Amino acid sequence: MVNQYITNPSTLCLVCSEAITNPLCPSCVSTHILHWAEDKGERIKNLCKKAINALGQQSDRLTTNSTTTCIVCHRNHSVCPFCFTEMIVTYLRNSGIKEKDIDEFKEFFNYIGIPREFIFS
């Protein structure tokens, strides 16, 4: 459901339909994910790269009507950092990554304290 108080729908995340309040694009978030994965071993690093390539390309295609600009690279984007990282978590979990590593990822990317109903998986 689209938030009734948003007057410009081009500032909404196309995944969760909420306002993008943390204006980091998936590409810039991906850089941080890859830095996190550096210390996790080859398997997690390679899975993160695959997830970023697949999901990043999808989110890049969704930017045509967006007016939300990344505060780092200044490109427009239509997927909020929370939804993008949650898609990465889902990809990693479906690839058989240990829950210990998933929990560390969530803590690193500040999922701690987010109510369960706001998390996709």
pLDDT tens figures, 42-69 = 999 999 999 988 886 665 555 556 678 8
If DSSP states are collapsed to H, E and C, what string results for the chain? Answer: CCCCCCCCHHHECCCCCCECCCCCCHHHHHHHHHHHHCCCCHHHHHHHHHHHHHHHHHHHHCCCCCCCECCCCCCECCCCHHHHHHHHHHHHHHCCCCHHHHHHHHHHCCCCCCCHHHCCC
- pLDDT the model gives residue 1: 44
- Given a cut of 50, the residues of the chain with pLDDT beneath it are 1-7, 113, 121
